[in-house]
Homo-oligomer: A and B are copies of this chain.
Amino acid sequence: MTGARKRSAINPSRRSRREKSGARFQNLADALAQIGRSFYQRGWVFGTSGNFSAVVSERPLRLAITPTGLDKGALEAGQFLEIDEAARVVRGNGMPSAETGLHLAIVRTRGAGAVLHTHSLWSTVLSDVFSADGALALDGFEMLKGLRDIHTHEHREILPIFENCQNIAQLATQVEALLKHEPAVHGFLLRRHGLYTWGQDLAEAKRHVEILEFLLEALGRSRTGV
């Protein structure tokens, strides 16, 4: 009997936990890759921009996340990394996205199951137009009901705008502080950079991207009297 067989005979539950986590990582990486390619088709993550993550396990915390610098139009599951709570790579090869700190901050403060970040045209343009206000409001749209816990169009969704910054640790601290004090928020903008949103699971996070992108375009096109 080999040592390997012995160990798995002695502690089968640990082995099966590892296998289950591996399967879950694969499923999430598949789903994230498919979402990434569809966002690329819509022009939301051009030029290797954007990044996507989903929680593989909560204890210990493990995230499937896009490595830095990939063409999202050709994104494949095999390219994803698994990282721990300190952004160390525990599965796969490559460097995790430079903005990993923001993903971890969102997961920690909101208990999010998935975080999606796009560089769309309207989030880029409007985050600049409203930057002096520090936020923009999406008000009275039926589409808002697709956001978690919103049950009527009579809702004013506030999308905070952060000044863009290359110091991600500092930005993550600002984001974490805001998310703790503004539990109603479903996403935020980085100025001339893009949108961050999240969900309890990946389907909800994808839905939030679509809703916020749609409402940003509606706001943008309404501003000139259409």
Contacts and interface: CB of A to CB of B under 8 A. Distances in A.
A147 to B, nearest CB: 8
Nearest to A140: B192
B128 A46 contact: no
A192 to B, nearest CB: 5
Contact of A226 (B48, B73, B125, B211): B125
The complex is assembled from copies of this chain, and their number is 4
A153 B48 CA distance: 15
A153 B193 contact: yes
Interface residues of A, number: 48
B121 A206 contact: no
Interface of A: 38, 42-43, 46-49, 71, 73, 119, 121, 124-126, 128-129, 140-143, 146, 151-154, 164, 166, 190, 192-194, 203, 206-208, 210-211, 213-214, 217-218, 220-226
A226 B223 contact: yes
A225 B221 CA distance: 10
